[in-house]
């Protein structure tokens, strides 16, 4: 076991598939449960940092903020992303609600319209603030990116519709592929400049691409290797050029792509939905544990949402029993914690991790 003194060292030790002092933990949540957690800890509604401290979270994200003009007009009854033009509408439910993608303004677009669609310039981001942000979080594991980078299928689907994106991949549609490439060009350059501005203070790059349903792959391995992998490799190689590891998020049954992730040079995988096909912790640990680090496994659709505190503690303990040996595991929810999760259940995740996640 490596002796560690900071969250940064703890996470980097785990990402290197070694044992730190304890299992690192991470957090992500929808607005409703996030607000309830802040009330539980007596925090101000906007005090995100204090909540992370209260939960013992070892990770912090940084990025260059956009400072350019609004590129897409507002539309009544819609939330229109000012940079990319994605349309969303609010869908309420019994425990809160969510912003659902809609309209898909590029669903019928040809190559000419794709080329003309306004996208942000890498010049219009504030890179000067990155170094200060990194310094603020110096003792934590600092990352840039996230599950939306480059997110070729979902990211294009938000503008073009998921069905059309899948057709684009199968038919090599020039318009759909150009949309992916334009997004990649912007995001890759913004990420490069962000890493440069950090001057070595960013510890890893977080990527994302949802590749699975609950029962199997979303696309074939052939399509992944033809269209997705080469574009992902650009980001992995960028991380390598800065001497940092890359972690990739993928929802659903996605372990079918892990051998390719490994050969690409990806160090860690995120999400790990245990209820999906070939995603059980024991399967992942046995099959890939000597070649990949893991981040996730605590299902947002399982005991955290529908069980008791005791059920949550048992789930966390069972997961730790499988994933802890030899190191290489960071405990985190499989997605943003949902608003139907009782506050006491979410608190129990982090209390159990602190109690049972010690090596």
Q: How far is CA 258 from CA 91, 250, 294, 335, 341, in A?
A: 34, 10, 11, 19, 30
Task: Output the pLDDT for position 66.
Answer: 98
Q: Report the interhelical angle of 309-323 vs 343-356 (nearest 10°).
A: 40
Task: Output the pLDDT for position 266.
Answer: 98
Task: Output the pLDDT for position 94.
Answer: 86
**What letter would DSSP give residue 208?**
E
Query: How many residues are listed for the chain in this entry?
Result: 359
Ranges under pLDDT 50 in the chain: none
The topology (CATH level 3) of 7-71+118-356 is: TIM Barrel (3.20.20)
| Residues paired with 115 in a beta bridge | none
Among candidate residues 345, 293, 27, 64, the one with its CA nearest the CA of residue 192:
64
Q: What is the pTM of this model?
A: 0.97
Q: What is the pLDDT of residues 186-208, one digit of tens each?
A: 999 999 999 999 999 999 999 99
Q: What is the pLDDT of residues 132-141, one digit of tens each?
A: 999 999 999 9
The whole-angstrom separation of Cα 35 and Cα 63 is 23
Task: Output the pLDDT for position 340.
Answer: 94
Task: Output the pLDDT for position 96.
Answer: 82
- Residue 288 makes CB contacts below 8 A (sequence gap 6+) with 255, 258, 262, 269
**What letter would DSSP give residue 29?**
B
């Amino acid at each position: 076991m490596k002796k560690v003194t900071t969250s940064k060292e703890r996470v980097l030790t785990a990402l290197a598939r070694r044992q730190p002092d304890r299992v690192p933990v991470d957090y992500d949540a929808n607005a409703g449960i996030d607000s309830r957690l802040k009330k539980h800890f007596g925090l101000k509604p906007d005090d995100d940092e204090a909540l992370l401290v209260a939960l013992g979270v070892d990770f912090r994200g940084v990025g260059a903020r956009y400072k350019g003009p609004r590129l897409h007009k507002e539309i009544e009854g819609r939330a229109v992303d000012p940079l990319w033009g994605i349309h969303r509408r609010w869908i309420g439910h019994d425990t809160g609600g969510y912003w659902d993608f809609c309209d898909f303004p590029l669903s019928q677009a040809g190559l000419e319209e794709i080329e003309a669609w306004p996208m942000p310039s890498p010049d219009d981001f504030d890179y000067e603030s990155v170094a200060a942000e990194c310094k603020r979080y110096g003792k934590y594991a600092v990352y840039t990116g996230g599950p939306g980078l480059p997110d070729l299928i979902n990211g294009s689907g938000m503008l073009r519709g998921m069905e059309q994106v899948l057709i684009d991949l199968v038919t090599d549609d020039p318009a759909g592929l150009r949309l992916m490439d334009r997004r990649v060009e912007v995001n890759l350059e913004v990420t490069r400049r962000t890493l440069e501005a950090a001057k070595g203070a960013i510890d890893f790059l977080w990527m994302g691409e949802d590749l699975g349903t609950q029962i199997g792959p979303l696309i074939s391995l052939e399509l992944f290797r033809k269209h997705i992998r080469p574009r992902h490799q650009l980001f992995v190689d960028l991380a390598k050029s800065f001497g940092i590891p890359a972690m990739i998020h993928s929802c659903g049954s996605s372990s079918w792509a892990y051998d390719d992730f490994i050969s690409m040079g990806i160090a860690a995988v995120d999400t790990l939905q245990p209820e999906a096909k070939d995603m059980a912790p024991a399967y992942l640990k046995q099959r890939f544990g000597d070649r990949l680090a893991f981040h996730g496994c605590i299902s947002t659709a399982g005991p955290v949402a529908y069980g008791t505190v005791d059920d949550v503690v048992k789930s966390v303990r069972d997961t730790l029993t499988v994933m802890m040996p030899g190191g290489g595991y960071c405990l985190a929810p499989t997605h943003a914690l949902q608003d139907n999760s009782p506050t006491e259940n979410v608190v129990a995740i982090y209390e159990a991790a602190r109690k049972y996640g010690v090596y």
